Amino acid sequence: MLKSDPKRFYITTPIYFPSGKWHIGTCYTTIVCDAIARFKKMDGFEVFYLTGTDEHGQKIEKVAKDKNLKIMDFLDEQASSLKKLWELLGVGYDKFIRTTDDYHVKAVQRIFSKLYEKGDIYKAKYEGHYCTPCESFWASSQLIDGKCPDCGRTTELAEEESYFFRLSKYTNQIIDLIESNPSFLNPKSRQNEMLNNFLRPGLQDLCVSRSTCKWGIKLPFDEKHVAYVWIDALVNYISALGYGSDDDSLFKKFWPADLHMMGKEIVRFHSIIWPALLMALDIPIPKRVYGHGWLLFGEDKMSKSKNNIIDPIELCSRYTVDAVRYYLLREVPFGNDGAYTNRAFLLRRNADLCNGLGNLLSRTTAMIDKYFSGVLPSPLVDSELDLGLKETANNMLKHIRCHMDALSVPDALGEIWTLIDASNKYIDETKPWVLAKNNSDMPRLGTVLYNLAESLRIIATFLSPFLIDTPNKIFDCFSLECPKLFDGVTAFGLLKPGTVVKISDKLFDRLDVEKELSTIDAQNASLGCHDIAKTDVSANENAFPIIKSQIDHNDFSKLDLRVGIIKTAEHVKKSEKLLKFTVDIGIEERTIVSGIAKYYDPSALIGKSVTVVCNLAPVKLCGILSNGMLLCAEDSSGDVVLISPHKDLQAGSVVS
């Protein structure tokens, strides 16, 4: 019997190609999965989190040769450096698989035999292209400008005797899997990509062995061939659980996987080839495959081959592991690409970790120390103001669980920052320093400080899956241990009055962003990483604000945006900034005042199409009631332009 207990959770990252150098882009998948795995553990699931290294194939053979190393020496060193990196980043996997491990080799061989005996593998000649960096086969018709469609690099012509897997046979089953089970592959854009680019045109049988590459697992029925590295690699997800071995208890317990997570460029291996193989083997398919976006540097995918990488070890040692984890988990819009810039990283660190969270902790603990000699007071005098804070805290588990189930990790963190912001606002509103002036207000002051301490305990509890040291530092201030489970610890009001409270050391020191950026640039330049220095300098010049927190479709649908046509335009008397417009929005004409006098001659705007926010509450500007807003964009030089449709549309056309 396969897994029946819904409280188990099997999550995997792709196994990493040892390439000599790890960067924060490669850390992304693993850190995200780590946060999900930790969250699930705290939420009461028995979790198995798998990661590892993908150690066969032509690329490895070549890299080791270029480095003049024996392949296994190179691989041992790489696996050990990756494990150290995961340790540094606080990644708590349950198993680290290496595809050179014995049990894995045996499982791959068994699977090949099974498929061969079943008639799903046959011998033929491969004629086509091969991309060594991606270890992918491509037909000429699939190349883009003669290059690999995935990585844009030059491919080699390959002509060799091979074994083929009857992938084409499974086309309709995979289409059905994706179409009738929308939660199998996400985000939705990846479903369309797989269906339109690969499945609907019809799958070709897949070459699954190499006879020209020697570094691989020998096929049991033909030792001149080694397994194609992608088939070898995909099998890790079940070989790690003991599939095909004498002890397959983990397989029975955890398969099918609850979540295979990977970067978008390798989704087709996981959502087409892998399920087809499993179907051929009569093994249940994984429940969910998620292809996240890339971490970019500038406009490019961060990757060693582009020499645009940011070293995670360097970043952690300068700015702490938690700052790196926080940035990756919060800033990169999950499912989409997200650009890394040193500026955005430093700004996030200062704003959210140092100001938001750090200040809350230091202010709260310092006030408990000052006004109550470091002993947590009892909550004796409630007020209306406390209700919002308590409600936000009490709803956290429900909201965060919902975001984590949807794999919206940045939103889950956003939820925690809602409580941090609410707590800081609560300090501003309750003004403890004013309460402290009156003896009669001491019970209320004690309540306020108790509530803040309790918020911090809840904040630390929910931060535990995401950050490593910070939650412990917060718990330490309140003489508490980090809880193992959310169960029973997330309700407001559990902290014991009388607890000894320590003043916190600074959680994160405030950095001078400009100074840091110059230091980083100087260091990059002296290390010869001119591209990185230059890219970040230009990012500085652009200085666009960081992306605001994500909103959902429901939030967006509240906006009523329409095309408007400007009927009249004039300067507002006594104002250098404002122009007054009459705008036709189809169903009526509106008066709208806009601060764009510096950028436009009003007479030149008459008859122009613009985008109008129609349901914004009216405001009075220089005595004129402005009923709506004209959308504008500002570039990095400060120039402001109205946003217009690129061809004429009727007034009132809905923008969505």
Judged by the rule CB under 6 A, the positions of this chain that interact with ligand MSP are 14-17, 25-26, 28-29, 54, 233-234, 262-263, 265-266, 294-295, 301-303
**DSSP string for 216-270:** SPEETTEEEEEE-HHHHHHTHHHHTTTTTSS--HHHHHHPSPSEEEEEGGGHHII
- Nearest approach in angstroms of CB 26 to ligand MSP is 5
Q: Which is nearer to ligand MSP, 23 or 403 (CB)?
A: 23
**DSSP string for 362-422:** HHHHHHHHHHHTTBPPP-----HHHHHHHHHHHTHHHHHHHHHHTT-HHHHHHHHHHHHHH
Output the 3-class SS for 569-592: EEECCCCCCCEEEEEECCCCEEEE
For tokens 């009927």, name the residue.
Answer: 567
∠ CA 586-588-594, nearest 5°, is 95
247's CB contacts (< 8 A; 6+ apart) are none
Q: Which is nearer to ligand MSP, 55 or 415 (CB)?
A: 55
Report the C-alpha gap between 216 and 55 in whole angstroms. Answer: 8
Q: Which is nearer to ligand MSP, 33 or 453 (CB)?
A: 33
- Nearest approach in angstroms of CB 46 to ligand MSP is 23
Which residue number is nearest to ligand MSP in terms of Cβ?
263
- Nearest approach in angstroms of CB 390 to ligand MSP is 39
- Nearest approach in angstroms of CB 309 to ligand MSP is 8
Q: Which is nearer to ligand MSP, 495 or 529 (CB)?
A: 529
Order of strands across the sheet that contains 8-12: 95-98, 46-53, 8-12, 259-263, 289-292, 185-186
Peptide bond into 443 cis (omega under 30): no
- Nearest approach in angstroms of CB 64 to ligand MSP is 16
- Nearest approach in angstroms of CB 539 to ligand MSP is 17
530's CB contacts (< 8 A; 6+ apart) are 524
Q: Which is nearer to ligand MSP, 12 or 490 (CB)?
A: 12
Q: Which is nearer to ligand MSP, 237 or 462 (CB)?
A: 237
Q: Which is nearer to ligand MSP, 128 or 286 (CB)?
A: 286
Q: Are 130 and 159 in contact (CB under 8 A)?
A: no
- Nearest approach in angstroms of CB 122 to ligand MSP is 24
- Nearest approach in angstroms of CB 262 to ligand MSP is 4
- Nearest approach in angstroms of CB 238 to ligand MSP is 11
Report the C-alpha gap between 135 and 55 in whole angstroms. Answer: 12
Report the C-alpha gap between 605 and 581 in whole angstroms. Answer: 9
Q: Which is nearer to ligand MSP, 242 or 263 (CB)?
A: 263
For the chain, what's the residue count? Answer: 656
Q: Are 500 and 453 in contact (CB under 8 A)?
A: no
Q: Which is nearer to ligand MSP, 223 or 299 (CB)?
A: 299
- Nearest approach in angstroms of CB 294 to ligand MSP is 4
- Nearest approach in angstroms of CB 524 to ligand MSP is 18
- Nearest approach in angstroms of CB 392 to ligand MSP is 32
∠ CA 101-103-108, nearest 5°, is 95
Identity of the amino acid at 459: I
Q: Which is nearer to ligand MSP, 278 or 354 (CB)?
A: 278
Report the C-alpha gap between 565 and 608 in whole angstroms. Answer: 6
Cα-based distances in Å from 550 to 38, 113, 330, 414, 629: 23, 49, 10, 8, 22
Q: Are 182 and 190 in contact (CB under 8 A)?
A: no
C-beta neighbour count of 5 within 10 angstroms: 10
Q: Which is nearer to ligand MSP, 332 or 563 (CB)?
A: 332
Q: Which is nearer to ligand MSP, 98 or 349 (CB)?
A: 98
Q: Which is nearer to ligand MSP, 227 or 452 (CB)?
A: 227
Q: Are 56 and 64 in contact (CB under 8 A)?
A: no
Q: Which is nearer to ligand MSP, 17 or 462 (CB)?
A: 17
- Nearest approach in angstroms of CB 303 to ligand MSP is 6
> Which region, left, alpha or beta, applies to residue 229 given φ > 0 means left and ψ of -120 to 50 means alpha?
alpha
Beta bridge partners of 304: none
Cα-based distances in Å from 54 to 25, 41, 76, 105, 168: 17, 26, 12, 12, 26
SS3 301: strand
Q: Which is nearer to ligand MSP, 272 or 302 (CB)?
A: 302
Q: How many CA atoms lie within 13 A of 590 on its CB side?
A: 29
- Nearest approach in angstroms of CB 269 to ligand MSP is 7
- Nearest approach in angstroms of CB 388 to ligand MSP is 38
Distance, C-alpha 391 to centroid of its chain = 28
Based on its alpha-carbon atoms, the radius of gyration of the chain, rounded to whole angstroms, reads 29
